[in-house]
Structure 1
Amino acid sequence: MGAGAVGCYYGFRLARAGHPVTLIGRPALVEAAADGLVLETGGGRAAVPVTATAEAAGVAGADLVLVCVKSTDTEAAGRAIAPHLAPGAAVLSLQNGVDNAARLGAVIGRPVVPVAVYVAVEMAGPAHVRHHGRGDLILGAGEPGARAAAILAAAGVDAAVSERAMEALWGKLVVNCAWNALSALTQFSYGRLLDGAGVREAMADAVAECVAVARADGVAVPGDILETVYGIGAAMPDQRSSTAQDLGRGRRSEIDHLNGYVVRRGAAHGIPTPVNRLLHTLVRLAEAGRG
């Protein structure tokens, strides 16, 4: 549900493993997917047959539902799919941010498995996803998460179940808060961005605020999180953030659920978050400027 870059990547992996996959996305995707879903990697490109529809009813009968919509669309997507979900379907939130599973579960009236997604992908065109690196998942514990992880692992996805999935989501949020806005505002790749004067220091300030807010929320962020942040530049030098891709296409980004979320939670705890507030404000202004 939400066949953008993340949805198409994992949809491709499941379809290649022999599972019947339905992509729910925009009409352009539905039209292009008639010729197959294309995955492009450094080793070439391949296509697999899938079903595609623009209707939320496409989830009907599915054993596994991957919700990959933007965080801004979580409730709307939940309301759309709720009437069509099979009773035993495992519903997974493969989304940025830390509260999507709870928000989605409140709408559909059943538990949703939170999933931390570590993959560098972008859409090269409708039903054509380009993979730049990684692809591993950390799923929340419980029967639905374990069942989904087994299906994904059999499809060649590195999928682990963990009681600490929320910590993983917070860790990813910290990384996104450090990278996404700066990548979006400059439209620089990670490798080029990290070489910029003052960038490491600005990232360190943003990360420190995030860690303080996470601790106030009762979440333990790994002590080496700043090294993890810097390591993204070396691991994915050619990647641009999802926020940069949204801004470049004139679409609303998820910045309210990244830096904006840290600002709101910081305010709730009385913790100042000036760097995250500025990054959030600048991206929102850039969005307004691009219509």
Structure 2
Amino acid sequence: MRYAVIGAGGMGIQYGVLLQEFAHKDVDFIDTWKPNVERIREQGGAYVSQDGEDRHLVPIDVYYPEEYTGDPDVWIVFLKQMQLDGVLKRCAHLFNDRQVVFSAMNGYGHFEKLNEYFPKDRIYGGTALIGAYVYGPGDFNFTGGAHAKAMNLCSYADEATEGVKAAEQALFEDFRAATLNPTIVDNFIGMCMAKIVFNSVLNTLCTMYQIRFGEFEAHPDSRWLTEQLVDEAYGAAEAAGYQLLGTRETEVATILHTAGVAHPLHYPSMYQDLTKGRPTEVDYINGYIARIGADHGYRCKLHEFLTREVHLAERAFAIHNPEIVAAAQAEA
């Protein structure tokens, strides 16, 4: 299958480059961040490294939405939740009923937006325990080696027809060849909620205190903090009638293992947004958990608190670093 990635940031570049280098697939990239597009074109590709080592140039083809003329079999979408509406509108003329779309973005809300352009039986969701860091335009670092990567894959369709299963299997085989270590699951909302719970701990706390995953896990209270947030999030999900993948105990274990063993050097994408003067996705993560709970009579005081705390951190960063925020706004 031929792929096109919408969003040539850390995760989009990682998925596309791994599909290109290890699965030997044809991959195009679409991006709207002008400094990134122009730098990749100027240097003839994207510089990528693995855990800060083996930095090398990977030739890739990158386009703005308005100039792309390709017809991929699969779209891979990795954007910030706040960007999604605008970029999809710019890409809408490229979509057709032959294509399928896959996304493993953080937070929740993107599948309903993708459903405005693609029917449910052509949408595949995923969750990725896969790290990436953007040093700057055209320069990316992947964290965690091939054995540390893990992802889930699930159809968004209400019913898994033979066509749905065939496309899902084809994605699975390509992602496996690309060293992304996929697992097919059959509980879409449970899959998504489990990753939101994961992000609501590591992304949020590491961003607030500007630390790496491993630095969080090394703190003597990391397990206690994780258990409190996971318990409240599972309570909200249960109030809503959602059955998550795994239990409270397995979710806590996954978070701490990822932080301390699989990706200890990783800074979360929310941290990267904060320190580069961009809005974070906390409303789509901790804020989403709090809304799910509130909608079903379950108050999530911890997640409400953290949502407001991250917005306070955004404001504090803007006050003390106005030049960084101004530059981010100019590039947006």
Q: TM-score, normalized by length of structure 2?
A: 0.81
Q: In structure 2, which of residues 49, 54, 72 is the aligned counterpart of residue 40 of structure 1?
A: 49
What pairs with 1:96-245 in structure 2 (closer than 5 Å)?
Answer: 96-105=106-115, 107-111=116-120, 112-133=123-144, 134-141=148-155, 142=164, 143-196=166-219, 198-221=221-244, 222-223=246-247, 224-235=250-261, 236-245=263-272
Taking the aligned partners of 1:60 and 1:79, their CA distance within structure 2 comes to 17
Taking the aligned partners of 2:236 and 2:304, their CA distance within structure 1 comes to 13
Taking the aligned partners of 1:199 and 1:78, their CA distance within structure 2 comes to 38
Q: Structure 1 residues 207 and 193 mapped into 2: Cα distance closer, same or farther (>3 Å)? A: same
Aligned residues: 290
- Is structure 2 residue 17 aligned with structure 1 residue 19? no
**Aligned partner of 2:277: which letter?**
G
Task: Give the structure 1 partner of residue 160 of structure 2.
Answer: none
* Aligned-pair CA distance for 1:269: 0.7
Taking the aligned partners of 1:68 and 1:56, their CA distance within structure 2 comes to 18
SS of the residue 1:250 aligns to: coil
Q: More displaced, 262-271 or 197-206?
A: 197-206
Give identity over the alignment, percent: 23
Q: In structure 2, which of residues 98, 101, 121 is the aligned counterpart of residue 88 of structure 1?
A: 98
* Aligned-pair CA distance for 1:59: 7.1
Q: Structure 1 residues 54 and 287 mapped into 2: Cα distance closer, same or farther (>3 Å)? A: farther
- Asked whether the equivalents of residues 151 and 183 of structure 2 are also in contact (C-alpha less than 8 Å), the reply is yes
**Aligned partner of 1:90: which letter?**
V
Q: TM-score, normalized by length of structure 1?
A: 0.91
Q: In structure 1, which of residues 28, 44, 52 is the aligned counterpart of residue 62 of structure 2?
A: 52
Q: In structure 2, which of residues 11, 27, 52 is the aligned counterpart of residue 6 of structure 1?
A: 11
What pairs with 1:275-290 in structure 2 (closer than 5 Å)?
Answer: 275-290=302-317
- Is structure 2 residue 78 aligned with structure 1 residue 68? yes
Q: Structure 1 residues 10 and 201 mapped into 2: Cα distance closer, same or farther (>3 Å)? A: same
* Aligned-pair CA distance for 1:175: 1.0
Taking the aligned partners of 1:240 and 1:267, their CA distance within structure 2 comes to 30
SS of the residue 1:121 aligns to: strand
Task: Give the structure 2 partner of residue 270 of structure 1.
Answer: 297
- Asked whether the equivalents of residues 10 and 132 of structure 2 are also in contact (C-alpha less than 8 Å), the reply is yes
Give a deviation string over 1:18-62, Cα, whole Å, max 9, x none. Answer: 333222221222122222122211462333221112325537411
- Asked whether the equivalents of residues 74 and 101 of structure 2 are also in contact (C-alpha less than 8 Å), the reply is yes
List alignment gaps of at least 5 residues for structure 2.
1-5, 156-163, 319-332
- Asked whether the equivalents of residues 46 and 57 of structure 2 are also in contact (C-alpha less than 8 Å), the reply is yes
**Aligned partner of 1:123: which letter?**
V
- CA RMSD across the alignment: 2.0
Q: More displaced, 65-74 or 55-64?
A: 55-64
Give a deviation string over 1:237-283, Cα, whole Å, max 9, x none. Answer: 21122111110111111101000001111110111111111110011
